[in-house]
Chains A and B, each alone.
Chain A
Amino acid sequence: MTCGPEDGLSELRQMLDRVEALQAVPLHEGLLRRLLPGALTDSATVYFHTPGFRGFESSEIRACGKHSWPAVSITGGDCELQCDHCRAAVLAPMTAARSPDALWRVVNGLVEQGGRGMLLTGGSNRRNEVCYQPFLGAIARIKRSFPDFRIAAHTGLVDEDAALALEQAGVDVAMMDVIGAERTLRRVYHLKRGVADFEASLAALAQTAMRVVPHVIIGLHYGHMLGEWQALRMIARHRCDAVVLVAAMPYHASPRRPFARPDPHLAGAFFLDARATLPDTPLLLGCARPAGLARRQIDSYAVLAGLSGVAHPAEGVVELAARLGRRVRVSSACCATFLLADTDLEDRHLLDLNLDAVLAHEAAARSRARPVRIPVAAVRA
């Protein structure tokens, strides 16, 4: 019997093969070797999030309804920035609340239907600022009336006053995309502001009492990586509660300025880089990433890299986490609420996977292969 990295890689390959939905998913051997030490020894909890701003159902997680954590846009589908990767497409399916009264009505409706929170966002002006100022009173009224209703807001660029105003209105979680390449800002965002403005915004948010959860978009430079590592270094210099990693989706770009699909294997390697740069910060895989095979690859790498959460997981990924010995939790809340995800945000009923059967099968398979080296945690959903 061999013992060592090759043995571990074989063990990991066999485990991946036991997940039917991942059997035809090619994963990079060199990257698997790099992921191996953490993959087979990390027994931490992994949260699978299913916020309702994208309809979601899989064979492992049941649908949870569109009123559970919807996305609400204070500009409807309008955005002045018209970045090349999005062109406001992500705003289109969101619930529009273009006035403070409309926002109040929307939230009242959500609360009546059992909603526990929302993603609050909106299109930017040409300075990459989301104009929340007229809505601050409504946000404060919402938080006074429904203190348990969580608000996770995409802030855009802010100065200290704007960050403080969001905090005082009662926003629970502040999120912003952190961009680390001037060239990406100029070309993709058409923005006449610099990387330093993004770091200053992050610093302003970090000085508030809000949970700060910056996002890094993998492949933001037309599908290729450019400023992502600089973004990690910027984040490392500030107090952040978690970091959401997403990957650029190539579907909304114009044919004249197309986006390539980000390389899933490079995304997987970036998870390890992020883990190394931010060793004490929870890392989460957010909602946005390419579909199909790429999504299954990226999601597999995310679990193998020990990320703390995955939003809208691809088929087989929950089972993979269980087989790796992770404690599986499901929440219909936005993944940026990771640190708020106490028991009242857990939705055990959404899990549609017999974890006991998976664990028993995994334990049996391992015992047939060799003496069990890694104990499988007793997981209950």
Chain B
Amino acid sequence: MARLRGCEFPSGLLYHPEHNVWLRAEDQDTFSLGMTAYAVALAGDIVAYTPKRAGSMVASGRSCAVVESSKWVGPVKTPVGGQVLAVNQAAMADPGLLNREPYSGGWVVRIRAQGWQGACAGLLSGAAALAALERNMEADGFTGCE
């Protein structure tokens, strides 16, 4: 587990720093996606999580869910397109899960990827991911996770 400005970034995950999300391969062509601890810290206390419906298609770079807090409303974008297989019912009932457990109970969607092998090549892990995230934190003037 790495830490940047008080935010945790588990090793073993793939990150897309621009969309501020993590991805975890579940099997050959399926992955889970969630917001990073940094992303949920920027959002503040999340009061609503509205995913795309299971079964719907989502394109690369487009929204797979909408998240709302008192200071932000915006999309969670997936860097890899595909079909939404599952959404987080527990988080729909308790959106604060995204804040409290961004890498476990607060996952956003599970997607069957279109061309996972090719698409995941654009994702970062390890030191490269941390360096990119740190650059984004600097650009955002991010003071840190509480």
Contacts and interface: CB of A to CB of B under 8 A. Distances in A.
A184 to B, nearest CB: 22
A279 interface: no
A56 B73 contact: yes
A24 B53 contact: yes
A137 to B, nearest CB: 30
Interface string A88-106: 0110010000000000000
B139 to A, nearest CB: 13
Contacts of A295: 48, 68
A59 B50 CA distance: 13
A291 B62 contact: no
Contact of B74 (A20, A56, A293): A56
A248 to B, nearest CB: 13
Best-buried of B53, B62, B66 by chain A (most CB within 10 Å): B66
A149 interface: no
Interface residues of B, number: 19
Nearest to A90: B70
A315 B68 CA distance: 12
A54 B75 contact: no
Interface in B28-86: 44-45, 47-50, 53, 56, 62-63, 66, 68, 70-75
A57 B70 contact: no
Best-buried of A23, A59, A249 by chain B (most CB within 10 Å): A59
B44 A93 contact: yes
Nearest to B68: A291
A298 B95 CA distance: 20
Contacts of A314: 66
Contacts of B63: 58-59, 315
Interface residues on A, range: 20 to 34
Nearest to B73: A56
Contacts of B62: 59
B68 A58 contact: no
A63 interface: yes
Nearest to A94: B71
Closest 8 CB pairs of A and B: A292-B48, A291-B48, A55-B72, A291-B68, A57-B74, A93-B71, A291-B47, A59-B63
Interface of A: 20, 23-24, 54-59, 63, 89-90, 93, 249, 251-252, 291-293, 295-296, 312, 314-315
23 contacts: A20-B56, A23-B53, A54-B72, A54-B73, A55-B72, A55-B73, A55-B74, A56-B73, A56-B74, A58-B63, A58-B75, A59-B62, A59-B75, A89-B70, A93-B44, A292-B47, A292-B48, A292-B50, A295-B48, A296-B50, A315-B50, A315-B63, A315-B66
Given A54-B71, A291-B73, A293-B48, 19 more contacts: A57-B74, A57-B75, A58-B73, A58-B75, A59-B63, A59-B75, A63-B74, A93-B44, A93-B70, A251-B47, A251-B70, A292-B47, A292-B48, A292-B49, A292-B68, A293-B50, A295-B68, A296-B50, A312-B73
